[in-house]
Amino acid sequence: MIKRLARAVDRLDHEQRRRFYGYPSEPIPRLEYRFLKDLLPPAVTADTYLVAKEVTSRYLTDWGWYPREVLPGKGGTVVEVGAYLGHKTMRFVDECVGTSGRVLAIEMIPEDVQLLRRNIEANGLEGCVEAMQCGVWKEPGLRALRGKGRQRDSLVNLDKLGPERGQAVPTDTLDNILRRWGVATADFLVVTANGAEIEVLEGLQHEWKRVKAVYVAASYTVDGVPTHDRCLEILKRRGSTILPQTTQHAIYAAGPRRTVARPVGTTHG
């Protein structure tokens, strides 16, 4: 991990191509940094250690990235539910769709959206990336957040998270969101909603016809019940082809606008 982080930071420092913003390190990352700082490049400080780790995992390495066979090419489109701070959003532009493509980055936490937009603007991506603050759900409205803040919040009673934290966010369905976005095809749909993936899929019915391929994070347990099987059931009922990259924690499926040509390799989900 440390060697990977060091190589990644050196690469960023050498290329100077992108700027990345994030949260200052919290106590645990600061403690990690204290023990590891002699092994890290000078560009990584106690404040920036957490950002460096997140950029390494989300932008620079294949851990947590998607199989190339499901990713769109230049000029393609990506809808990212759960965009967090936008580090993967930028990677979708740089490695997949380019500035001639379109990415819709959806995030529900207001403070996360501020940093998401800052990353987009600092890198001059306003022309191809649209950031939206919204909790994707099975119906429009307002819904209370549960959890511990930042990327550890959910709209559902996720077993490993805490109680409601006194903040509500606007919600909407993917049907409404895709209809308003106005792009004919979503080449790749990413659904990482911290346990609310079932509700996200339930809110995607009429506009499912736009989707070519989808990734669904399915590693959660809600009210004691795993989300994986229920998400699979919904996708199969919609006529999806479940792709061989699917695991017990990640589902890959071909939507109605995609032709499945052949079996493909492994997944990093």
CA dist., res. 3 & res. 35, Å (int): 14
Phi-psi label, residue 225: left if phi above 0, alpha if psi -120 to 50, beta otherwise = beta
* pTM score, whole prediction: 0.90
* pLDDT tops 90 at residue 148: no
What are 207-229's pLDDT values in tens digits?
999 999 999 999 888 877 889 99
Helices vs. strands in the chain: H and E counts, helices first: 8, 13
Residues 236-254 pLDDT 10s: 999 999 999 999 999 999 9
pLDDT at 138: 97
Domain locations in the chain as residue ranges? 2-58, 67-254
In this prediction, residue 9 carries a pLDDT of 58
Q: 241 pairs with which residues across the strands?
A: 254
Average pLDDT across the chain, whole number: 88
> Residue 239's CB: how many other CB atoms inside 10 A?
11
Residue 267 has pLDDT above 60, yes or no: no
Cβ-based neighbour number of residue 4 at 10 Å: 14
Confidence class for position 92, pLDDT limits 50, 70, 90: very high
pLDDT value, residue 266: 40
* pLDDT(60) > 60: yes
pLDDT score, position 191: 98
User: With 60 as the cut, is the pLDDT of residue 268 above it?
Assistant: no
Assign domain 67-254 to a CATH class: alpha beta
Q: Cβ contacts of residue 154 below 8 Å, gap of 6+?
A: 145, 146, 147, 161, 193, 194, 195, 196
Point out the least confidently predicted range of 49-53, 81-85, 254-258.
254-258
Q: Do residues 142 and 166 make contact, with C-beta atoms less than 8 angstroms apart?
A: no
Cβ atoms of 254 and 213 closer than 8 Å: yes
Banded pLDDT at 156 (limits 50, 70, 90): confident
Please state the φ and ψ torsions of residue 132, each to the nearest 5 degrees. Answer: -135, 130
Which of the four pLDDT bands, split at 50, 70 and 90, describes residue 11? low
- DSSP label of 54: H
- Chain centroid to Cα 116, Å, comes to 12
